[in-house]
């Protein structure tokens, strides 16, 4: 694949942010987002972190998709479950430098990549937890639990049951098939689940589901 100029990538990012009414992201944050994307492209060549290879496609499918959560992300500690290559945690942390993020990811090669990103981009608000979600046992519950295509809703609920409580929120980014996932999740009927449509330029429709458990789960 021939190299793509930094100027072109910056233009694609700027157009996407404008289309999502996220123009408030600063020039410095945009540089960090593009530097993250270039690191992802470089590591992807040998570590296969994502199936998306072209950085022009990575912008809408990874960066903008992650940032679509910003208007719904309230303050407090955010735990990104099954962070993978840092999505959505890294783009969100770049754009919310005063908010703390913990990326929970068990795969060694992805953990190595995340640590490299944090070091090279100087992200002091990001911690890496090299664990499965079930083995991540913080002393204090996070304020926000977020997941992007980690598992079906019923499984995600099970994976994070020990992290959920009446004072925090779960945010799940979902694509097509979310209705089937809801139908296969018996506990959904007892929850007040808010569903928001996310509009990412030139991408299929996405949804953000947000819920809060009425009590801490056993």
For residue 77, the domain's CATH number is 3.40.50.150
User: What is the per-residue pLDDT for 216?
Assistant: 60
User: What is the per-residue pLDDT for 116?
Assistant: 97
* Any domain includes 190: yes
* Any domain includes 54: no
User: What is the per-residue pLDDT for 53?
Assistant: 82
115 is annotated as contributing to ligand binding: no
Where are any strands of DSSP class E within the chain?
78-81, 101-104, 126-129, 144-148, 169-174, 194-198, 206-211
156 is annotated as contributing to ligand binding: no
133 is annotated as contributing to ligand binding: yes
134 is annotated as contributing to ligand binding: yes
* Any domain includes 39: no
Tally of domains in the chain: 1
Q: Token pair 């993250």 is at which residue?
A: 36
* Any domain includes 30: no
Two tokens at 131?
A: 């664990």
Q: What is the pLDDT along the chain (218 residues), one digit of tens a residue?
A: 567 889 999 999 999 999 999 999 999 999 999 999 999 999 988 887 887 888 899 999 999 999 999 999 999 999 999 999 999 999 999 999 999 999 999 999 999 999 999 999 999 999 999 999 999 999 999 999 999 989 999 999 999 999 999 999 999 999 888 999 999 999 999 999 999 999 999 888 899 999 998 866 55
Full residue range of the structural domain in which residue 114 is found? 61-211
* Any domain includes 177: yes
87 is annotated as contributing to ligand binding: yes
What is this structure's pTM? Answer: 0.95
* Any domain includes 6: no
* Any domain includes 24: no
CA 144 to chain centre: 12
* Any domain includes 26: no
User: What is the per-residue pLDDT for 172?
Assistant: 98
Tell me how far apart the alpha carbons of residues 134 and 138 are, in angstroms, rounded to a whole number: 11
């Amino acid at each position: 694949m021939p190299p793509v100029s930094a100027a072109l990538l910056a233009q694609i990012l700027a157009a996407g942010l404008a289309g999502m009414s996220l123009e408030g992201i600063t020039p410095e944050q945009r540089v960090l987002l593009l530097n993250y994307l270039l690191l992802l492209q470089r590591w992807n060549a040998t570590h296969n972190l994502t199936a998306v290879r072209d950085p022009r496609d990575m912008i809408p499918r990874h960066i903008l998709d992650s940032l679509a959560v910003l208007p719904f992300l309230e303050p407090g500690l955010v735990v990104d479950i099954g962070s993978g290559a840092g999505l959505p945690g890294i783009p969100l942390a770049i754009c919310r430098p005063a908010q703390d993020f913990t990326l929970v990811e068990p795969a060694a090669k992805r953990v190595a990549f995340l640590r490299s990103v944090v070091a090279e981009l100087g992200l002091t608000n990001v911690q890496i937890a090299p664990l499965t979600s079930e083995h991540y046992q913080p002393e204090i519950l996070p304020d926000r639990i977020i997941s992007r295509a980690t598992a079906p809703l019923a499984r995600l609920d099970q994976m994070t049951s020990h992290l959920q409580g009446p004072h925090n929120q779960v945010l799940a980014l979902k694509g097509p098939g979310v209705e089937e996932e809801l139908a296969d999740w018996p506990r959904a009927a007892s929850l007040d689940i808010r569903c928001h449509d996310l509009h990412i330029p030139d991408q299929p429709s996405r949804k953000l589901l947000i819920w809060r458990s009425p009590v801490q789960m056993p």
